[in-house]
Amino acid sequence: MIYYIVQGILVGTFYAVLALGLQMVFGVMEVVNFAHGDLMVMGGMIGWLLITTYSLPVGLIFPVVFASMFITGLVVFRVLFKRVRNVPVVQSLLIAFGLGFIIRDAVRYLFSPKIRTIRLWPGSVSFAGVSFSNDLFLTGLVCGSILVIMLVFLERTNWGKGIRATSEHTDLAQACGINIDRVQMLGSGIGIGLAGIGGIFLGVNFQINPYVGMEFLFKSFAVVVLGGMGSMRGVIIGGLIIGLVESIGTLFIGPQPAAAASFITIILVLLIRPTGFFGREVKL
């Protein structure tokens, strides 16, 4: 049982990072990024390439992948998101879906449909008499650190406060002198950069191929909905809940039913609290 609890917490930090990237883009632009899962796969494949082909040290993989995906996020904002932020929601959804298909086909063409895994740190570590893979421990360490850094960034820096203000009310933020274009571009870059980091740990803890993005897109949605739209603390708690439900559920009912149980948990929570644990009401 100890193994499954610790595993759930560590994997839960991975889910929280994925969901935070999704929420970041929606928060600053109110664009539901349905390409988020495919961008995550793209980042994971870049990480796999850096490890297997270029033998890049583990300590450099994360900043290189984040920087690559951050730049991708800036380009996506300039070319696409900036143009669709004020269009009807159905149109923006279709455009984001289209972007996802383009990325998916590009990844399939460049990397083939082959299933891949990523190994960053061979070996295991013991905790409370139970052994865990070093990769699982590294997942919690890196993702947990990212969540702390993002929490400090959003609450203590001017750029972070600008992102929060824009997420709360774009017009008021603009009236206060905040450069909305720059904030939205930064939010897009950070959100897609976090998707890339999540893609690395997708390959570490699961398997990665061009088609797996949609599954983890929906899990990211689940975490955001459970924690509450617009709340980073809610995203962290939502990620931990999903991670624990899936991990402990695997022990008792198997992996496939456990995945379904996590969505059942969301439904039950939303019946009691429609805005999630810490969320605010959002109109699309």
**Domain-by-domain residue ranges, the chain?**
2-210
Task: Answer left, alpha or beta for residue 230, where phi above 0 means left and psi between -120 and 50 means alpha.
Answer: left
Nearby residues of 102 by Cβ (< 8 Å), 6 or more positions away: none
- Collapsing DSSP states into helix, strand and coil, what is residue 179? coil
Residue labelled with tokens 């599954």:
215
Please choose, from the candidates 49, 78, 90, the residue with its C-alpha nearest in 3D space to the C-alpha of residue 184: 78
Distance in angstroms (rounded) separating the CA atoms of residues 229 and 74: 23
pLDDT at 280: 60
Distance, in Å, from the CA atom of 121 to the CA atom of 204, rounded to the nearest integer, reads 10
Tokens of 66: 């984040």
Provide the whole-model pTM.
0.92
Give the residue, 225 or 153, on which the prediction is more confident: 153
State the pLDDT confidence band at 14, using cuts at 50, 70 and 90.
very high
For range 178-189, the mean pLDDT:
94
pLDDT of 108-159, one tens digit each?
A: 999 999 999 999 988 888 877 788 899 999 999 999 999 999 999 999 999 9
| Tokens linked to 43 | 């980042």
CB atoms within 10 A of CB 8: 22
Radius of gyration of the chain (CA): 18
